[in-house]
Amino acid sequence: AQSVTQLGSHVSVSEGALVLLRCNYSSSVPPYLFWYVQYPNQGLQLLLKYTSAATLVKGINGFEAEFKKSETSFHLTKPSAHMSDAAEYFCAVTLSGAGSYQLTFGKGTKLSVIP
Amino acid sequence: DTGVSQDPRHKITKRGQNVTFRCDPISEHNRLYWYRQTLGQGPEFLTYFQNEAQLEKSRLLSDRFSAERPKGSFSTLEIQRTEQGDSAMYLCASSLGQGVGQPQHFGDGTRLSIL
């Protein structure tokens, strides 16, 4: 079975400060990992994905994430927060085998950006 | 790319009524997924189609729920005899059909409120 844990349901940062959102996964086989962002009353928008090609993955809007197998982590970072980054962020995992394509999501981290 | 389209955006109904939601995926995507998202949680997988075939169903999909994708294009999700606990955002996603790890693209969802 696969699972995702996002540490911190709510994170606040000042505008211009580093953003760090944590994600740890549990998987018995090599995973595919994703970060999505959700703005109020909207669906989820893909930020970036890890599919084993490179451990450091760059996404849209200046976000990146690093896959660390030894730590089973896939934390999301952005060097300098912008007001428009305020949203809810979800980490998700799917397995590389077994013919199942469903995504398993974490509970999300709500990011607030303080001016 | 017109994106994934869901209709209606909001649905308010009385307990015990039947409701039906529609999802139009991105045109070249042959995989289609339904998820349910309750307040403060990440999306939870409900079911998945490859073309017109429904290949996977979650235990969350009780016998009051039925999903179809008759011609491998749009999909409908019907809930019969709605209950208070069905109040949630219902999200549809689609992806390309080659291999694992294809990113899923989400619509803006249908928010269901049961009175």
CB atoms closer than 10 angstroms to residue A27: 18
Whole-angstrom distance, CA of residue B97 vs CA of residue B18: 32
* Ramachandran angles phi, psi of A8, nearest 5°: 90, 105
User: Chain A interface, mutation test: which of B10, B21, B100, B112, most A Cβ atoms within 10 Å?
Assistant: B100
Q: How many CA atoms lie within 13 A of B83 on its CB side?
A: 5
At B95-115, the pLDDT tens digits run 987 777 789 999 999 999 999
Reported confidence tier of residue A99, pLDDT bands at 50, 70, 90:
low
Are the beta carbons of B109 and A43 separated by less than 8 Å?
yes
Identify all chain A residues contacting B108, using CB atoms and an 8 Å cutoff: 41-43
- All residues of chain A having their beta carbon less than 8 Å from the beta carbon of residue B42 are 4, 90, 92, 105-108
Write the DSSP string, B26-77: -TT--EEEEEEE-TTS--EEEEEEETTEEEEE-TT--TTEEEE-TTSS-EEE
What are phi and psi for residue A62, nearest 5 degrees?
Answer: 80, 5
For position B98, what pLDDT does the model report?
Answer: 73
Instruction: Please tell me what DSSP assigns to residue A33.
Output: E
